[in-house]
Homo-oligomer: A and B are copies of this chain.
């Protein structure tokens, strides 16, 4: 993993910890990042967004297990959410947008400017995401009180 890649990943890591603390009063503890190849993170709800820039382009996916996102959405909405519905999808879109916005700001201070596309949310039990990139895909597992989620960042030329 080149230095540039780590520079790209850390802002997303910082940003999701901040966003979940601020928006959902949820502490997210990062586990050891790994390079994703055959191994694939599986989850039930994913927020995904594309990024384009002059120097690189990429995509970010945040894949939540159902217990984790129900807890986070309940915290964000201030009421107990029992199933994955439109309001949960909204929360995931919002989280994805804010995390990317936060990371974009940090990256721009370091001379990498990116444009954000429109975030989408995928709902479906036990799905997985495969990024088509020449670059490497870095997966960071996170734990919350209620369950785990995975942040996948990939950038290519």
Counting every copy of the chain, the complex holds 2
Q: Does A19 contact B (CB under 8 A)?
A: no
A86 to B90: give the CA distance in the assembly, Å: 30
The residue in chain B whose Cβ has the minimal distance to the Cβ of A128 is B123
Query: Taking A52-B50, A97-B132, A132-B90 as contacts, is the C-beta distance between A57 and B117 under 8 angstroms?
Result: yes
Interface pair A131/B127, CB less than 8 Å apart: no
Considering the chains assembled together, what is the distance between the CA atoms of A48 and B129 in angstroms?
10
Q: Is the CB of B120 within 8 A of A48?
A: yes
Which residue of the partner chain B has the closest CB to A96? B132
A50 lies within 8 A of B93 (CB): no
The 10 closest A-B pairs by CB, nearest first: A50-B50, A124-B127, A50-B117, A93-B132, A52-B115, A89-B130, A121-B130, A124-B124, A59-B118, A52-B52
Q: Jot down 7 A-B pairs with beta carbons below 8 A, ordered by A.
A: A50-B51, A50-B59, A50-B118, A57-B116, A93-B132, A121-B130, A124-B126
